[in-house]
Amino acid sequence: QLQLVESGGGLVQPGGSLRLSCAASGFTLERYAIGWFRQAPGKEREGVSCISRLGGSTNYADSVKGRFTISRDNAKNTVYLQMNSLKPEDTAVYYCAADRSLFTRNQAICVREVMDYWGKGTLVTVSS
């Protein structure tokens, strides 16, 4: 019953922008820290950006810092990832994940091991 659904992926040219959305159903998103992860073919899933349950803390991978922005609208039960200045190396399946732990949900811990729920992913392809 608890689901995370990503949307907004697609094909964009280098230098372009894309906004990903992560919508929650079956639970109240404000009780969870949320992370965006990505996985390219043959690569391990890596943390991209995470946000604490109330949005007070954020964390970004060095590779996306200054280009990506994570935000959340708890009233809409949705978290966003605004991606600007996209590069071919950003090509991957992007996953939304939720952390419900009382010990970590007030932080922006961006590692796979702390996440309790995962979406099915949305493909982002950056190519000319």
Residues 44-68 pLDDT 10s: 999 999 999 999 999 999 999 999 9
Helix (H) / strand (E) element for 81: namely strand 78-83
> In this model, does residue 1 exceed pLDDT 80?
no
Percent residues over pLDDT 90 in the chain: 83
Q: Please say whether the beta carbons of 76 and 63 come within 8 A.
A: no
